[in-house]
């Protein structure tokens, strides 16, 4: 991959495919482990499709031209982060059959990390910490070390975030609490994108004096990045919230119908007893 130097930053040519053997090896091991696990933990085909799509998004984030664009445009980097911290983790966690997910939570550390009061603060901490300007710029200037750490923590924290929403084990949250959890994740996470969109000045020095790709100024790029991030989170968490909340309402309706049925049966029995007397 060719590289160009802008200011004090060396950036790969945009639109080039990235060569990250370590990322490809990690994704291959993840896929192989999943296939092996399916021998003992069967699941419906849609779970396999979800996991495959999740690994596909990891490939897009790691080796497609999106990776090269992240060194030129803040918008591209935030889109890459979104894939790694939200979309890919959701699909990977959805892809786990319940029996396989339950076997993972037998490990005490993972059991603790998937608790909603741990998983959500941890995801928020990872998200906000890596977006602090000094750490953000340092990661981009150290793509072989610090940037890989950033991406790995995004993926891990994202999987923990979605775990109590998708799987019943180990905590078995009622759907009402799952909906509240999703609302809290959106309400606490979305201000970061809005802040980037509204700031009057750029905050990430790595992009200052860059290539001016697509004719965008640094500030326009930051504003588009913030709007993209906030809009994506609104869509993703709104869809997840709507699904879980609708399931909560259906459960409540079934319970009410069952209660009415039982009350009707008790009333009929009492009437029969009165008639016999």
**For the residues 238-264, what does the mean pLDDT come to?**
79
* Contact by Cβ (8 Å): 86, 38: no
pLDDT band for 274, please (50, 70, 90 cuts). Answer: low
For residues 80 and 226, what is the distance between their CA atoms, to the nearest angstrom?
A: 13
For residues 74 and 183, what is the distance between their CA atoms, to the nearest angstrom?
A: 27
For residues 128 and 134, what is the distance between their CA atoms, to the nearest angstrom?
A: 12
* Contact by Cβ (8 Å): 164, 114: yes
Q: What is the pLDDT of residues 218-229, one digit of tens each?
A: 999 999 999 999
For residues 246 and 33, what is the distance between their CA atoms, to the nearest angstrom?
A: 34
Closest C-alpha among 58, 67, 68 to residue 26: 58
The whole-number pLDDT of residue 15 equals: 87
pLDDT at 7 over 50: no
Q: What is the pLDDT of residues 90-137, one digit of tens each?
A: 999 999 999 999 999 888 899 999 999 999 999 999 999 999 999 999
Output the average pLDDT for the chain: 89
* φ and ψ of 5, to 5 deg: -110, 125
């Amino acid at each position: 991959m060719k590289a160009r130097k802008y200011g004090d930053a060396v950036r790969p040519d945009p639109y080039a495919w990235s060569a990250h053997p370590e990322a490809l090896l990690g994704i291959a091991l993840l896929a192989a482990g999943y296939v092996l696990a399916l021998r003992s933990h069967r699941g419906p085909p849609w779970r396999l499709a979800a996991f495959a799509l999740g690994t596909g998004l990891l490939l897009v984030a790691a080796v497609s031209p999106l990776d090269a664009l992240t060194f030129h445009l803040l918008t591209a980097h935030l889109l890459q982060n979104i894939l790694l911290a939200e979309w890919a983790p959701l699909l990977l966690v959805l892809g786990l059959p319940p029996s396989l997910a339950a076997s993972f939570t037998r490990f005490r550390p993972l059991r603790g990390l998937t608790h909603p009061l741990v998983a959500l603060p941890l995801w928020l901490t990872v998200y906000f910490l890596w977006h602090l300007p000094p750490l953000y710029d340092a990661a981009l200037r150290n793509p072989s070390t610090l940037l890989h750490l950033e991406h790995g923590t995004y993926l891990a924290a994202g999987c923990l975030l979605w775990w109590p929403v998708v799987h019943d084990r180990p905590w078995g949250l009622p759907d009402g609490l799952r909906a509240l959890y999703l609302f809290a994740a959106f309400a606490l996470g979305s201000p970061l994108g809005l802040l980037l969109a509204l700031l009057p000045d750029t905050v990430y020095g790595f992009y200052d004096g860059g290539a001016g790709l697509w004719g965008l100024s640094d500030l326009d790029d930051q504003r588009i990045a913030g709007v993209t991030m906030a809009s994506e989170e609104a869509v993703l968490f709104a869809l997840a919230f709507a699904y879980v909340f609708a399931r909560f309402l259906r459960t409540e309706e079934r319970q009410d119908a069952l209660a009415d049925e039982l009350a009707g049966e008790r009333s009929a029995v009492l009437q029969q007893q009165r008639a016999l007397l």
